[in-house]
Chains A and B, each alone.
Chain A
């Protein structure tokens, strides 16, 4: 019974994996999705670097709902290599995007379907955008973990995968409504300046969680030798993904015998029969050229105490008043000096 369930879960996972092209949930396998070096785990498999921009307020008040806008620029009409053929039999489809945001401790995503009280905090416009799906719902990364994590870190958030249609409508920008915590109610939190770590990706990755390469990667020769045979347009299985057709088998004759290299459909074969190759030499083109890639960014966010601002304004007002009074006093002294000079006949 347990085995059947496990097998069923495996199949579900695989079907799911085939149906979508960008996987924030893969990052949920990492206990610490942002490494100590500051690198976000997405970059372990999305090997190409690409631009990402973020807009968020400079400072927020406790309990305030604010928007983090992650801008992931790319050509939404571009097509990349995918793991299953489309209606024309080509392994091509448009890019999908996803975003990763690590907020400071205590911050969380506004989610009116999960938290009833969020309905009151969000403006009507924000609610409408969330309910109509115009803003793709962001979720804490840990809720996607399999097996589920005991404690969900609400401040580590992912969105996606987001399809081309939605991304076109959004103008390449993912909006995440975030609720700021109140340090007056939670003893473990403090006002201050904190970092927000953002990652944005578009396009398929190069490595699957099992370690096998995807067909959106360049294939290289594992050893030096001569290519003796190429069988093209055959079904190929690499790791857990099977490609129905269009794959190639390249036979490489090395010093230690013959090696068969599986090349999935997607990357174009550049090697020919009779080629002498060195270890690490490219056998195919790099298909990941359509602008796919992952980008990092770090931003500051101030959790501001409104009382502090009030007292700052009071201080500034008092300082201004002091300046004015000092100048007035000086004017008065000048008048006295002018009078005394006149009395002494100096004018």
Chain B
């Protein structure tokens, strides 16, 4: 064993360390990618398709039965599209006893309480902090910064179909009058 060994310079040592750690980091990131994706909830439904309004117990609401049971000018809560991270949606029955072409998302834009309809004063009034909205969901009183979100509503085969609201916001109040929908 008289062979004389050469020292390996630091530059070569670091270069191989870099290559090895780089490859292992790449492999680890590759293994983590599906794990991270797995924990992100799957996109339910997806696309711009509409959903049919359902009652509290998950049954589809029939428009003819609803109009027969409820008086004109009322707002009936149902399960509809997920807007503002909630599905509770009011079906608007207008004064002519017809289902209006828009539904109102019942989730309060302030902190997310479901806003009840007060038929007596003809307004929505949030029980949590007192935000008030008019009969079309326009903002009347704070602390909520924005009006209730809109969804499109249409009667199809006697069922009520909600789809995302893509047009301008038609409501104007003293507190809020931006025509661009805030929820898209």
Q: Which residues of A contact B (CB under 8 A)?
A: 314-315, 318-319, 321-322, 325-326, 328-329, 332, 335-336, 338-339, 342, 347
Contacts and interface: CB of A to CB of B under 8 A. Distances in A.
A339 B27 contact: no
A55 B119 CA distance: 70
A326 B20 contact: yes
B71 to A, nearest CB: 41
Interface residues of B, number: 18
Contacts of B16: 325, 328-329, 332
A317 to B, nearest CB: 10
A332 B8 contact: yes
Contact of B27 (A319, A332, A338, A342): A319
Interface in B5-21: 5-8, 12-13, 16-17, 19-20
Contacts of B23: 318, 321-322, 325
The 7 closest A-B pairs by CB, nearest first: A325-B20, A339-B5, A322-B23, A329-B20, A318-B27, A347-B1, A325-B23
B21 to A, nearest CB: 9
B128 interface: no
Contacts of A329: 16-17, 20
9 contacts: A314-B30, A315-B31, A325-B20, A329-B16, A332-B12, A332-B13, A332-B16, A342-B5, A347-B1
Nearest to B46: A187
A335 B20 contact: no
Given A325-B23, A338-B5, 14 more contacts: A318-B26, A319-B27, A325-B16, A326-B24, A329-B16, A329-B17, A329-B20, A335-B5, A335-B8, A336-B13, A339-B6, A342-B4, A342-B5, A347-B1
A141 to B, nearest CB: 33
Interface in B79-118: none
Contacts of B24: 322, 325-326
Nearest to A336: B8
Contacts of B4: 342
Contacts of A325: 16, 19-20, 23-24
A339 B24 CA distance: 28
Nearest to B26: A318
B7 A339 contact: yes
B30 A339 contact: no
A238 to B, nearest CB: 54
Given A329-B16, A329-B20, A318 B8 contact: no
Contacts of A321: 23
Given A321-B23, A325-B19, A315 B30 contact: yes
A331 to B, nearest CB: 9
A329 B19 CA distance: 9
A327 to B, nearest CB: 10
B2 to A, nearest CB: 9
A314 to B, nearest CB: 8
Contacts of B1: 347
Contacts of B13: 332, 336
Give the one of B5, B7, B26 with max A CB within 10 A: B5
Contacts of B6: 339
A26 to B, nearest CB: 40
A41 to B, nearest CB: 36
A285 to B, nearest CB: 63
A139 to B, nearest CB: 36
A24 B17 CA distance: 68
A332 B7 CA distance: 11
Contacts of B17: 329
